Chain A
C-alpha cells in the first residue's frame, strides 16, 4: 500500500508521540533506536498491506496492532529503566525508574509514595540545619512564657517567643536528615535491584 500525505502524517504523528513518551523515561540514544525500530516495523506492515479504499481505517488497524504510543513507551520504560538505574546509580535515572514503576504497578506506586515521603522528610531536616547559620534566631526549640511550642525552623515568630538550643537542633537535624537521605536512597536502590532481579528470576523460572 502506498501512503498518501495524510497517511504519512499519521505515521509521523504516532512516532512523534512515541518519541515524546519514551523521552520521559529513557536515554536519547535508546529512544532513537526504539523509534527507528518501530518505524521500520510500521513501514514493512504498510508495504505488505493490500491497497484499500479507506486508507485511514487500514492505518488505524495497523497502528492498533502495535498499541497506543504511551502504552508502548510504558512497556519500554518498565523493561529498561530499572536496569539502567541499578547499573548507573545516578540520581536522575533512579528517580526516572521509580516514577516509571509508580505509573505501571500498584506496588511501584506504594513504594514510590513511601520513598517520596522519605526524601521529603530528609530534605526538611537538612533545610532546618542549613537555615540555622542564615537565620540564627529562628531555629531551635520554641517557648512562649515557658510553654513548649515546637522545634525546628519558624520564620515568623510570635511575640514573646524564646528560641533555645538552636545549635543542638541544627546538629540533630543535620544528622537525622543525612541518615534519612542515606537510608531512603539505599532503600530506593535496593528496591530497583529487587525489581531487576525478580524480572531475571521470572525469566528463568527460578
Chain B
C-alpha cells in the first residue's frame, strides 16, 4: 500500500489537459512548486534569487503570474517563440542557472509550461475553476474544485514527513510507530497518518479515567504492551515534583498510604501549586517580573478564561512588557491559542492557511493601545497599514477592540486545545502536539480524540487545576518510567528544570542553594556546578544512609543498596550524599 504511493509519485500524473484549458494557478504554478522553483531556498525566499522573486510555495498566484509575464517588460517569456523563453531555458540549464538543471526538456512539466506559453500565457483558462480543498489518503492526493470536479494531483503535491525515521515523505514506512505526512498542493494543506504497529493487536484494560480510553485504544491498535504502575514512593516523588516543583519530605515519604487520587487532591490544594504552575505556565511568555508573577499567582484558582480576559483588557502587565501590536498578536497566537502566527509576518505560512493579511488584522486589535506612566491608554484613532492600506480587525465593534478579541480568544476551540496540550506536555514530558505552541492542521496530535476530550472537559470550568487532576489521576500518568514513547506505554523521564533542581538540592540539604543561571539548561556548566561548586560542597553533611536516600531520592534504600553502603564516617557519608545529588535518579523526574 505504502509502496503504491511511491510508484504513483513516479509514474502518475494529472490527466492531460487540453492546451486551451491550461491555466496558471491550476496547471503551471503547481508544477513550478513541485520543481522547487518557489521554495524558501530558491525564488521563494524573501528576496528572491537573481532578481526573480516568487511567492513562497506559490501562495500568491496572481503576483507570481505578474512576475513571470510582466516584470522586466516581459523578458522572462517569449510568446513569439515560446521555446526561447527564459522561463524554460534557465531551469533546463540551456542558460546559466544557479539552481542547476531542474526541468527536463520534453518532460510532462516542460510540455505543460510550453503549451501554456503557446496559448498566450493567460492567467485563467477559458473555463476557470478554483481549487476549494485537497484531500489525501496514503497513496493519493485529490484536488476538489469549485465546479464540483476533482483531479488526482498525487504527482504534483508536495509531501513531507514529520518523522523520517518512521515514514518518509513518499509514505514508505520504515519503522514501527506513527507519524504524519504533510501534503501541500496549490496553497492548501492537509496531513495523513502513516505508520505500522509494533506487533499484533493486543487488549489493554488498565483504566482509571477517560484519558486511558484513548491511550489504551492506540496501544491496542499498535500492539504495544504498557508497563505496569510505578511503586508508591516513585509516584509520590513524581506527583510532588509535577504539582509543586519540590521534593516530598522524608516524613511525607514515610507517611504515604498509597492513596494516589487522595494525594493528587491534597497536592493541588497546597499553595505551592499556584506558585509552581503560574511560573511554569509563563516561562516562555514575554512578561517578566515579580509583580506579574504575584498577580498571576493570586488569580491561579480563578477560571483561566477570566484571567486571560482580564490580562488582555484590564491589566497593564502585558502592555508594559510588549509594545508592538504585531508582537501582541503573536503573543495571543502562540501563548494563548498555540498558533505560530509570526511566520506570516514575512510570508504567508507555507503550512497553514493564515495569511499576512490575517496577521496584520489580528495586530489591528492592538493598534490604538498606548502605555503611559505604567497605565494603558487607548488612542481615539490610528490604524496599522499593509502595503499602504489601513488594516482593520476581522470582527467586532467595541470601542475597546481588545474586548472583542478577548471574548473571541477564550471561546475559540483552540484556546482549550492549547491549554490542554500544555498541561499534558508539562506532566507527560511531551505534548500531544509538538512543539506545544504549534497546533495546526498539518501538525496533527498523536491522540486527536484525547486532545478533544481534554479540551471539552476544560471548557466546562476553564480550570487548569482540573486538567492537571484528570491527567495525574490517569493510569498512563502513573506507569513505570522508561524510554518515554509517544504512545505512553512507558513514563517519560524528564530532567529537572533549573528552578526545580535548585529547590530539590535545597530541600535535600535542608539549606538554601543560591540560584545560579548555569543550572538552567542541561549543559556541561550545570554538571560542573553540581559536581564541584563551593555552594554544593558547603551543603554536604553526613547523615545515615537511610536518611540520605530519603532526602535525595525520596525512597528507602533497597536491600542491595543497604548491603552495598557499608562504610561509615563523616567523609564517607558526605561523599555518598554528593554521589546521590549527582545521580541521574536525583536529577530527573521519573
- Co-complex (A, B): no
Residue numbers of B with Cβ under 8 A of A are none
- Residues of chain A having any CB pair with chain B under 8 Å: none
